[in-house]
């Protein structure tokens, strides 16, 4: 076995010549011959009019191929065992990963450079700029960020949304931009109106980029970005400023203004709302203001707004003594992700994926097979109970401890949904 337990191994090659551009992920690289074969089988199939999509092996191993714009091929290899998810779940995860990796390559380098490869060596060098972002995507598994998977931007609901929204709008206006966003703990707290016109995947990638940029420790930066769908060939400027630790604001703008000029507006705009910011920061990973109560027996929840492509997710800190029978926080996040994939691959409509895209994934055909519309579903496992429901506007996924009787799950879920929507307007 060549792959050690660890994250997914990611290979990037040029599609027509098969020159390896980079590999990320596992500490131990696959031998060159294996990389050649993985690429070779796909190329051979393409020559025969067959495109190879994915491959399962015993023990949960999985290989997924994808060619982007006929120029670059991305291959994700996961060794199994490490992640105990079934093939379908693993496949969706890897598919999303490849899309995101391609997206962030475009985000950083622009589509032109990736599609028309003139100098392979130079491209290899340029691609290094994406590595930190790609590594973040690869490691992302256990964090409380769902957007990479759902393509619905993670959000945080501030206690006083109107005030922050006004401030963001004011700041963006001062910076001659229509796209501004306040990011708290890597989640969207407030945006300008136009921000919602960005594609969901772009927002998710921008959030990831913000996270890598803020890791650098600088209080502000000016970074050129291409939007994978909105402007894949023309670079925009992403201006990022740190307001407080964990609180960042960013604007997307053209050649003007300069970073210094925007920074000068910063203090003027944001100093009046520092207290609000602190309140918002205090919301933390719960993502919901303390005024909004969630029943104690909900272990974790994720609410997706299907119109705005935003999501709120949280794992509740259980007030009582840590019970050994309850899954840990990290496990809750993982369960929530797996349950999301489980529900969307089998029953629910997956957000922001076109029907064409669904039919291309090897499991998309299953959802089409139902003659009636699935509305809700639940699972009872040995660790917890999961409940998912979908309405025209929302999707809600909940985890309960085993002690909650199965027959109340539905009413709790319905009440939780209506309560959340009524009290936050999400």
Q: Does 7 bind another protein (CB under 8 A)?
A: no
Q: What is the dihedral angle through the alpha carbons of 418, 422, 423, 426, rounded to the nearest 10 degrees?
A: 90
Q: How far is the CB of 81 from another protein (least distance, A)?
A: 7
- Regarding 118 and contact with another protein (CB under 8 A), the answer is no
- The reply on whether position 411 binds another protein by CB under 8 A is yes
> Interface residues for another protein in 13-32 (CB under 8 A)?
30
* Contacts (Cβ under 8 Å, ≥6 apart) of 381: none
Q: Is 324 in the site for another protein (CB under 8 A)?
A: no
Q: Cα-flanking dihedrals φ and ψ of residue 112, to 5°?
A: -60, -45
Please report where in the chains the tokens 């076109």 appear, as a residue. 354
Neighbours of 114 (CB within 10 A): 23
Residues 6+ apart with CB under 8 A from 321: none
Residue 71 · residue 15 · CB < 8 Å: yes
Among 10, 38, 182, 417, binds another protein (CB under 8 A): 38
Q: In this structure, what token pair is assigned to residue 350? A: 């997956």
Site for another protein in 187-206 (CB under 8 A): none
Beta carbon of residue 94, minimum distance to another protein (angstroms, whole number): 12
Choose the stretch contacting another protein; rule: CB under 8 A; options: 130-138, 198-206, 221-229, 354-362: 354-362
53-56 own/partner pairs: CB under 8 Å, 24+ apart: 53/360, 53/361, 53/362, 54/91, 54/94, 54/362, 56/87, 56/91
424 binds another protein (CB under 8 A): no
412 in contact with another protein (CB under 8 A): yes
Buried residues in 215-254 as b, exposed as e (16+ CB within 10 A): eeeeebbebebbbbeeebeebbbbbbbbbeeebbbbbbbe
> Does residue number 405 form part of the binding site for another protein (CB under 8 A)?
yes
| 218 versus 403: smaller Cβ distance to another protein | 403
Residue span binding another protein (CB under 8 A) among the ranges 115-123, 129-137, 143-151, 410-418:
410-418
- Write out the H or E segment, with its range, that includes residue 101: helix 87-109
Q: Which of 135, 178, 263, 297 binds another protein (CB under 8 A)?
A: 297
Q: Distance of CA 144 to CAs 26, 107, 277, 376, Å?
A: 22, 23, 21, 24
Contact between 386 and another protein (CB under 8 A)?
Answer: yes
- Cβ-Cβ contacts under 8 Å for 235 (sequence gap 6 or more): 110, 224, 225, 226
Question: Binding to another protein by residue 397, rule CB under 8 A?
Answer: no
Q: Show contacts with another protein in window 42-81 (CB under 8 A).
A: 44-45, 48-63, 77-81
- Which residues ranging from 217 to 276 are in contact with another protein (CB under 8 A)? none
When the beta carbons of 387 and 426 are compared against another protein, the nearer one is: 387
CA gap 338, 319 in Å, rounded? 25
Interaction between residue 318 and another protein (CB under 8 A): no
Q: Which of 195, 339, 397, 426 binds another protein (CB under 8 A)?
A: 339
CB 248 → another protein: shortest distance, Å?
A: 32
Q: How many residues bind another protein (CB under 8 A)?
A: 87
**Distance (Å, whole) CA 161 – CA 156:** 10
Window 138-177: residues binding another protein (CB under 8 A): none
List the interface residues with another protein, window 85-104 (CB under 8 A). Answer: 85-89
């Amino acid at each position: 076995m060549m792959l050690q337990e660890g994250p997914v191994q990611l290979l990037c090659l040029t599609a027509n010549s098969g020159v390896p551009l980079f590999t990320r992920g596992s500490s131990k690289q696959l031998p060159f011959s294996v990389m050649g074969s993985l690429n070779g089988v796909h190329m051979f199939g393409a020559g025969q009019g067959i495109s190879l999509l994915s491959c399962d092996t015993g023990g949960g191993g999985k290989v997924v191929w994808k060619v982007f714009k006929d120029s670059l091929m991305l291959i994700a290899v996961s060794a199994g065992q490490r992640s105990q998810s079934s093939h379908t779940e693993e496949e969706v995860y890897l598919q999303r990963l490849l899309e995101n990796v391609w997206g962030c390559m475009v985000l950083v380098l622009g589509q032109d450079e990736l599609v028309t490869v003139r100098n392979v060596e130079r491209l290899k060098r340029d691609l290094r700029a994406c590595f930190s972002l790609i590594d973040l995507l690869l490691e992302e598994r256990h964090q409380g960020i769902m957007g990479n998977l759902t393509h619905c931007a993670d959000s945080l609901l501030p206690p006083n949304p109107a005030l922050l929204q006004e401030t963001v709008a004011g700041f963006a206006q001062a910076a001659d931009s229509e796209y501004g966003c306040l990011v708290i703990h890597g989640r969207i707290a407030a945006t300008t109106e136009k921000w919602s016109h960005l594609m969901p995947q772009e927002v998710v990638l921008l959030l990831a980029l913000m996270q890598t940029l803020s890791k650098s420790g600088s209080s502000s930066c000016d970074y050129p970005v291409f939007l994978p769908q909105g402007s894949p060939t023309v670079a925009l400027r992403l201006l990022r400023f740190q307001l407080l630790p964990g609180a960042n604001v960013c604007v997307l703008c053209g050649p003007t203004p300069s970073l210094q000029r925007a920074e000068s507006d910063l203090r003027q705009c944001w100093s009046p709302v520092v207290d609000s910011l602190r309140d918002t920061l205090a919301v933390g990973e719960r993502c919901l203001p303390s005024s909004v109560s969630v029943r104690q027996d909900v272990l974790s929840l994720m609410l997706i707004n299907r119109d705005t492509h935003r999501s709120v997710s949280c794992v509740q800190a259980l007030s009582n003594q840590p019970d050994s029978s309850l899954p840990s926080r990290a496990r809750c996040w993982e369960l929530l992700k797996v349950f999301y994939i489980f529900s969307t691959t089998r029953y629910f409509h997956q957000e922001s994926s076109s029907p064409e895209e669904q039919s291309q994934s090897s499991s998309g055909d299953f959802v089409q097979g139902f003659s009636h519309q699935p509305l809700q579903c639940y699972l009872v496992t040995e660790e917890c109970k999961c409940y998912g429901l979908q309405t025209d506007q929302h999707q809600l996924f909940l985890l309960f401890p085993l002690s909650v009787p199965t027959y109340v799950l539905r009413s709790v879920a319905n009440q939780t949904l209506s309560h959340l929507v009524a009290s936050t307007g999400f």
